[in-house]
Amino acid sequence: MSTIILALFLNVIWFSPINAKEADVVLIETLQGDLTGDGQNEEISLKGILFSPDTVFYKDIWVEIASPNEERWKISYQGGYEPAVELVDLNHDGIKDIFYQSATGGSGGLYNYQLNTLANGELKEIPLPEQLFLQGSFKDDFIVSIQLTPDSDPYLMDVSNRSEDYIRLGIYDENGTLRKPQSLMIDPIAFFEPVLISDSKGYGLKSSQQISGAYHADGLGTVESLWYLENGKWILLQTEWLPSN
């Protein structure tokens, strides 16, 4: 009887969730760079666990960071597709930060992002910039108005080529008169990309977000903005409206 119990116990250990999870871990990429500022390179291992063997979606993603003096850190991320990390100094302290991104896989082209610093061995998250002012609305005569900043003049865009759809949806009447006030659909920031501002200033972030009309597939254009982190605060250097063709 004791032999049977022992055999069952060993089977439980062999097929435990912990062992299964360890076997499913995928090493996505490995990088090296000085993240603490001590002049020595840390090893950064981006790892993940796939949702299932027949998908490329990672349900769990994290990085493990190891220093030459055997210190260890771990950063957990949101799941997604095509995860990647980039080492780039975005807070301008002379030490590279850890910039993570992965695609959500949704129709809006959204990405997950996270920015961390490990300067002086202290792991901290750096908040990413947010677009605090962006307004858009339908106007009479099949015109939409898009205002990027409080002090800027709005962009006026002729959408008469979509009039049939907008009339059908009840936004306009046959004469192009707006039936009731209606705002445009403004997506959150969908994409960030580190960009070099200048040799003296270093790196910032470029963001893009879509503005749509009556529904998400009714894309009107994209707002591209350039951000720079200074004294712990993101500064909007410029923003531009790029209408769809």
pTM reported for the whole predicted model? 0.83
- Taking the domain 26-125, which CATH number applies? 2.40.128
Mean pLDDT over residues 140-156, rounded? 95
Mean pLDDT over residues 45-56, rounded? 94
Q: Could you report the per-residue pLDDT of 168-217, keeping only the tens digit for each? A: 999 999 999 999 999 999 999 989 999 999 999 999 999 999 999 999 89
Question: Helix (H, G, I), strand (E, B), or coil: what is residue 24?
Answer: helix
Cβ within 8 Å of residue 7, ≥6 positions away? none
Supply the pLDDT for residue 132. Answer: 85
Bridge partners, 116 (sequence order): 98, 125
Supply the pLDDT for residue 108. Answer: 66
Residue 195 φ then ψ, to 5°: -135, 150
Question: Helix (H, G, I), strand (E, B), or coil: what is residue 165?
Answer: helix
Cβ within 8 Å of residue 227, ≥6 positions away? 129, 204, 205, 206, 207, 234, 235, 236, 237
Listed by start position, the domains of the chain span 26-125, 135-243
Write out the two tokens for 6.
């022992």
Q: How far apart are CA 111 and CA 187, in angstroms?
A: 12
Mean pLDDT over residues 72-98, rounded? 97
